[in-house]
Structure 1
């Protein structure tokens, strides 16, 4: 039921109200100091331009509201012993969070040089938005954070992911009103449909409406409370509204609102854990309206600042050149009465400091925001138990992802609260449906009789939103658990920026000494560009590989297993890893199986190697046929087979690359091959025809810096194709076995003129193929049914 702050009791006595307002004023003061000051941190002498930074960078407008929420959460953490972390969605709320974790002591615990006194305060100010310092948004170095302020639109997704299988955790998730306009945030409200209070924690969304973005009004700030009530009630929330600009009044109102919301959350959890979940809970949500730049300068140069977009960043910008602006800044700083807040040494007064929770209950020190401290290794089944066995290699077609699904089934079984699969409505489609033997899809809404493997207790996360799946998994892994995000290859590009931001977080965290290693974020992309039996051009897009390979080498890993046994080996490796973005790409359709498990383990350990069994005199080849990806592997080996039949004098070496980063020079990537190893595989001078799963330029990018670069002739996806047969896709993109044969004849000296019959055979078969598929709607039997034979 919707509530208004005016209907709630005022829970603060006079002394507590006074002290909480003092903390809030102290946090506001520290915000301004971070933006403006490089000396005279407590303004104990008249302010001069020498005390002001030469470049004024940062954002003030959202900070007072963030500070208000922080101090009030501190009160409830102490009162109810809450396990709580704070996520600031507004993009540049960095100074607010830094101020509060410094006040509570967490900042000094992690950074002893930033002491809790006047010298430490000065260091805190001088490092903000300066070279070698910290950015203006909440970021990796900020204690208590797992949400990057620059990741606009993802705060609720990270929050909900963090509380899954984390029953005692409460995330205070502040949604900026500009952020609320983004697509990911708009979709993330549905996350409560996947939160089960019997086993999950809770998220308290606080929509902070202060009216403006950087230069204009926000949409929701112009909506009435009645309109917002309709929206949020329709989403399944019970919104509580609180609004004002009188600090002492608003402190009382917000204290009542926040405590009411927290108690409602505890009531929902207590009821569900005692009696089971019967219906989807109606969770509380707070809408907080405060002026933009609240308590800042009201008028500057005759123009209103507070309560307008002009308060978004630096409200008084000409401090070093305009004496009146310097005077306004000085008065603004003094308005918080720092002499009442800090003692002679610049330390927060003890009675104010006592408002902070103790130890790990401080939001800046909660280990949930440093998830590597809580990480437990997965109980991994022996992947060799799921291996594909065969009497004759490459003679039977089998769905590789279906084999992986059996492995994931047992991974779920053995890790009931430490692993989840996140998949946009595609678990069965991706042939991973074996997981439903042990866990249903999660949905806490009404379950209907005809639903398939859906229950309130399910832990397979399906929602038709790549943003939700990726964001949930980020929150899940950053709080120490493990998971897999599986989706169609073309749709992975929807979360391109999310992957980039997460990679930046992981890479930066590796350079922050107190950040513990977290489980890797693992991707499985299927329904690849090479199979469009009924899907069209829109479903072709291998570009997510490009996204990952261009991330920092310390975090980027790309694997292209060609068959089921390689897929099992790669998946096991990825689930054991930490601090990576692991991208695995393999199609879900039945495919030929190339390697025994023993061979696959050795091959995956090397990452790339010569496949002697499919080569023709591989010791001193005339040409190297290389491949990366399941369909390119099939076409490459089929081309090698055709050449063996029709041009046996050509010495062909077949090379397969399963770890794409092995192609890099060793000085560019940790997985990169030495020049000696590279020459051993690709020879010193033989031409290389390389069939690649994605865009050809990827291979050239990876090879950059190698002297052998010019010898590589790459065939890959060229933005050709639509609804058609499997073989026609490789034909349209010039990567078919027939095209590869013609490439070999082109690059081996004298081969083209010596093998005219093979040229004719390839061209005739291509022409026959085009006619056949239009008449019979299927590939030529000799193509479709081809298997390897010696």
Structure 2
């Protein structure tokens, strides 16, 4: 599209408005300092005494005055223009400012009535901050208006963009700290403008807050000249507007002008896009670069050392206020410099003329429903999974690509929800690679950059979000979910580790949010991991890591779920189930290669609802009165296939051995019921795995996880897990299993070894020798021919290959 003209000059607000703005800012600063330091005497009605000071001083002052400065100016803009605007605080450690401003506007006390808008409420507000039984020092789920956990830097801007996709009336003002700007996720986030369609999406106003220092060092961008910053951000596609200095009177005027220019420019971009029928390029969106001193308005020196505008103001500038009279005097003078008597009335309430500066109702940034997305969430319309079922006559005979089957289901979700426009698919450049191309029958990849005549599946209106940054995919999806929508993140299994820390933070957010009655449930964060460890035919060792599930399993049982569907019909049930859930993180691992299909849809539904169960058609214990001699358990599509191939060998060569096959779809079902809501009662678990028989468990990931989940079970000592042992390379599919002893031959050998009744059995010994010979034959064959043995490559299930019930 043609970029609107550079914003024309605007006049600053009148002197009275600027004076009131400054007083409001002082009130927010006063409350922020009080939260860090004070237990009592909130309005300084008497001289500060040691007992008025907290025994442990925790919090971050340095960024907070700048955050408060931005907040009050956004309040003015909201009131003047009646904007639907949320405030995303990238420097989340500036939590005192977020809490102070939501208390001033009244949204905090509405959510927490015990903390009223008076002197007693102020005392409680101060006391709870970074205090046992209180609230964290960072912006957190407990903080009204927040949609990101502020304990880790780097995700503010990507959350902001995720929030405005398909939200045409929403503007996300995102403050980016200059320390945060050094992180990898944030650096990639600047490219998000290439995915924002101003005709149908909202807008993001980034505000880069340069205050000079991180914890103990100068920041890179703060030491970069204005000229270089302008070139950098113009190169990214932004229009930079600079506000810089330390004189509040001048700064208020300049910030007001910059905000008016920025919002005029946003309005012009959106108006032009929504009045024309075709998009023609990436607009140049505005960006405010605010240079202000770190710890602005705080003590300039403490103990003769520079504090304001230096790293020493980062956390607690005056540290010994309880013990040191001099430090306590500095703190008192600092607090009194804000002249609280000009800000609060005799009862401790914010004075009327200042209270009127805040927006009203849902226009307050702490009360905007987009920052409590469950209030806006509408159910996702899902098609019936039976419409996509793979028809099975003989088990294992039909070959299908499970993710390709799921793709048709996802395609129709896009179609069914086209009017609502509240579902997107996120992932690196892997939608086609993961066999999900059928979604392109309903939508396409989105880009606002040039689309050339030979490009495929690209448009300005697509809903598939592809960028080669797992950080952006995760962050966009989180912002999308946190503002009330639905989505799915698909990724190669090995590289989902890139977002380990983002997963951690979102899991923590959900864990806390679930205990806050005022936070409404949001749609679950759903991962579909394919191109997994066992099928990396042309990528090799670098792509072989199934360890993400180990990280996931560490989190609270209320939050996480892990599913390994063994075929397409089970994947359909799992996908449908996960998209129906809320306040969860669901991890689905499924292969994309052609593989045997085992269960009818009816069987798949029953099996998945149970989480795990016996496959009676695979074993032969019905021929025995004493139950199985061995349990062959499996979880994951390749381990399932290898287990069944091992069972077939055992049944063909040693029919007197009774075998039970147990397949696990829901990994958390392995835990005891007191550890996870999906966990089996001990008696139920024993019915599946017995109390005294060997269990050979073929597992998709690292063996230690299965042992960790089952360590409390009665038969744990007889559990022998085969999984990924960090052995890999570029090799054949079957050779990968052999390298890690998850193949049919090693599994059958393990069964022979652990069934004590077989020791000295001639037939068992003969079978063991055969299996060893097969491994030797395999070793030489793959290294000579570069392919698996035909009997392995072309294997299908033959053990009394009965027709299915379907």
Query: Does TM, normalized by the shorter one, top 0.5?
Result: yes
Counterpart for residue 498 of structure 1:
502
Counterpart for residue 402 of structure 1:
404
Q: Give the distance between the partners of 1:399 and 1:705, measured in 2 at CA.
A: 37
| Secondary structure of the structure 2 residue equivalent to 1:750 | helix
Counterpart for residue 162 of structure 2:
161
Q: Give the distance between the partners of 1:291 and 1:708, measured in 2 at CA.
A: 64
Structure 2 matches for 1:158-557, cutoff 5 A? Answer: 158-276=159-277, 277-416=279-418, 417-557=421-561
CA shift, 1:427, in A, is 0.3
Q: Give the distance between the partners of 2:32 and 2:4, measured in 1 at CA.
A: 33
Tell me the TM-score normalized by structure 2: 0.97
Q: Give the distance between the partners of 1:355 and 1:214, measured in 2 at CA.
A: 33
Q: Give the distance between the partners of 2:476 and 2:436, measured in 1 at CA.
A: 19
Indicate conservation of the 8 Å contact 1:4/1:240, yes or no: no
Which segments of 5 or more consecutive residues in structure 1 lack a partner in the other structure? none
Q: Give the distance between the partners of 1:49 and 1:259, measured in 2 at CA.
A: 45
| Secondary structure of the structure 1 residue equivalent to 2:141 | coil
Counterpart for residue 34 of structure 1:
35
Q: Give the distance between the partners of 1:84 and 1:203, measured in 2 at CA.
A: 10
Structure 2 matches for 1:648-667, cutoff 5 A? Answer: 648-667=655-674
Structure 2 matches for 1:594-609, cutoff 5 A? Answer: 594-609=598-613
Q: Give the distance between the partners of 2:43 and 2:692, measured in 1 at CA.
A: 70
Indicate conservation of the 8 Å contact 1:371/1:516, yes or no: yes
Runs of 4+ in 1 over 3 A off after TM superposition: 1-5, 7-10
2:21 is the counterpart of 1:15: no
- Per-residue CA deviation, residues 154-182 of structure 1 (Å, 9 max, x unaligned), is 10111101111111110010001000000
Indicate conservation of the 8 Å contact 2:10/2:261, yes or no: no
Q: Give the distance between the partners of 1:499 and 1:410, measured in 2 at CA.
A: 28
CA RMSD across the alignment: 1.3
Q: Give the distance between the partners of 1:391 and 1:40, measured in 2 at CA.
A: 78
| Secondary structure of the structure 1 residue equivalent to 2:621 | coil
- Per-residue CA deviation, residues 76-98 of structure 1 (Å, 9 max, x unaligned), is 11111111111111141100000
Indicate conservation of the 8 Å contact 2:691/2:714, yes or no: no
Q: Give the distance between the partners of 2:712 and 2:30, measured in 1 at CA.
A: 52
- Per-residue CA deviation, residues 444-494 of structure 1 (Å, 9 max, x unaligned), is 011111111101111100000000000000000111100000000000000
2:646 is the counterpart of 1:630: no
Indicate conservation of the 8 Å contact 1:177/1:209, yes or no: yes
CA shift, 1:18, in A, is 1.0
Q: Give the distance between the partners of 1:599 and 1:115, measured in 2 at CA.
A: 57
- Per-residue CA deviation, residues 162-208 of structure 1 (Å, 9 max, x unaligned), is 11111111001000100000011011111111110111111100000
Q: Give the distance between the partners of 1:786 and 1:473, measured in 2 at CA.
A: 40
CA shift, 1:10, in A, is 3.9
- Per-residue CA deviation, residues 410-448 of structure 1 (Å, 9 max, x unaligned), is 011111211100010000000000000111100001111
- Bigger CA drift: 28-37 or 677-686? 677-686
Indicate conservation of the 8 Å contact 1:162/1:479, yes or no: yes
CA shift, 1:684, in A, is 2.1
Counterpart for residue 112 of structure 1:
113
Q: Give the distance between the partners of 1:303 and 1:310, measured in 2 at CA.
A: 9
Q: Give the distance between the partners of 2:485 and 2:383, measured in 1 at CA.
A: 17
Q: Give the distance between the partners of 2:438 and 2:585, measured in 1 at CA.
A: 25
| Secondary structure of the structure 2 residue equivalent to 1:221 | coil
Indicate conservation of the 8 Å contact 1:209/1:287, yes or no: yes
CA shift, 1:8, in A, is 4.5
- Per-residue CA deviation, residues 574-607 of structure 1 (Å, 9 max, x unaligned), is 0000100000001111110010000000000000
Q: Give the distance between the partners of 1:752 and 1:741, measured in 2 at CA.
A: 14
| Secondary structure of the structure 1 residue equivalent to 2:93 | coil
Indicate conservation of the 8 Å contact 2:6/2:265, yes or no: no
Q: Give the distance between the partners of 2:593 and 2:701, measured in 1 at CA.
A: 18
| Secondary structure of the structure 1 residue equivalent to 2:315 | coil
Indicate conservation of the 8 Å contact 1:10/1:253, yes or no: no
CA shift, 1:2, in A, is 13
Which segments of 5 or more consecutive residues in structure 2 lack a partner in the other structure? 801-806
Indicate conservation of the 8 Å contact 1:4/1:241, yes or no: no
Indicate conservation of the 8 Å contact 1:144/1:366, yes or no: yes
- Per-residue CA deviation, residues 44-97 of structure 1 (Å, 9 max, x unaligned), is 111111111111110100011100110111111111111111111114110000
- Per-residue CA deviation, residues 706-760 of structure 1 (Å, 9 max, x unaligned), is 2221111000000001100000000000111000000000111132431111111
CA shift, 1:649, in A, is 0.8
Counterpart for residue 567 of structure 1:
571
CA shift, 1:102, in A, is 0.1
- Bigger CA drift: 508-517 or 675-684? 675-684
CA shift, 1:151, in A, is 2.8
Counterpart for residue 753 of structure 2:
746
Structure 2 matches for 1:769-784, cutoff 5 A? Answer: 769-784=778-793
- Bigger CA drift: 270-279 or 344-353? 270-279
Counterpart for residue 729 of structure 1:
736
| Secondary structure of the structure 1 residue equivalent to 2:501 | helix
- Per-residue CA deviation, residues 513-540 of structure 1 (Å, 9 max, x unaligned), is 1010110000000011111211121100
Kindly tell me the number of residue pairs found equivalent between the two proteins: 789
1:695 to 686, 702, 705: 702
- Per-residue CA deviation, residues 357-387 of structure 1 (Å, 9 max, x unaligned), is 1101100001101111111100100111000
Indicate conservation of the 8 Å contact 1:3/1:241, yes or no: no
Q: Give the distance between the partners of 1:187 and 1:150, measured in 2 at CA.
A: 20
Q: Give the distance between the partners of 1:254 and 1:9, measured in 2 at CA.
A: 12
Structure 2 matches for 1:76-95, cutoff 5 A? Answer: 76-95=77-96
| Secondary structure of the structure 2 residue equivalent to 1:613 | coil
Indicate conservation of the 8 Å contact 1:232/1:239, yes or no: yes
Counterpart for residue 804 of structure 2:
none
1:670 to 677, 681, 686: 677
Cα 1:243–1:442 shift into 2, 3 Å: same
CA shift, 1:778, in A, is 0.6
- Per-residue CA deviation, residues 660-686 of structure 1 (Å, 9 max, x unaligned), is 000000000000000111011111221
Cα 1:4–1:377 shift into 2, 3 Å: closer
Q: Give the distance between the partners of 1:2 and 1:91, measured in 2 at CA.
A: 33
Indicate conservation of the 8 Å contact 2:446/2:460, yes or no: yes
Indicate conservation of the 8 Å contact 2:4/2:269, yes or no: no
Q: Give the distance between the partners of 1:2 and 1:420, measured in 2 at CA.
A: 29
Q: Give the distance between the partners of 1:616 and 1:753, measured in 2 at CA.
A: 23
CA shift, 1:248, in A, is 1.0
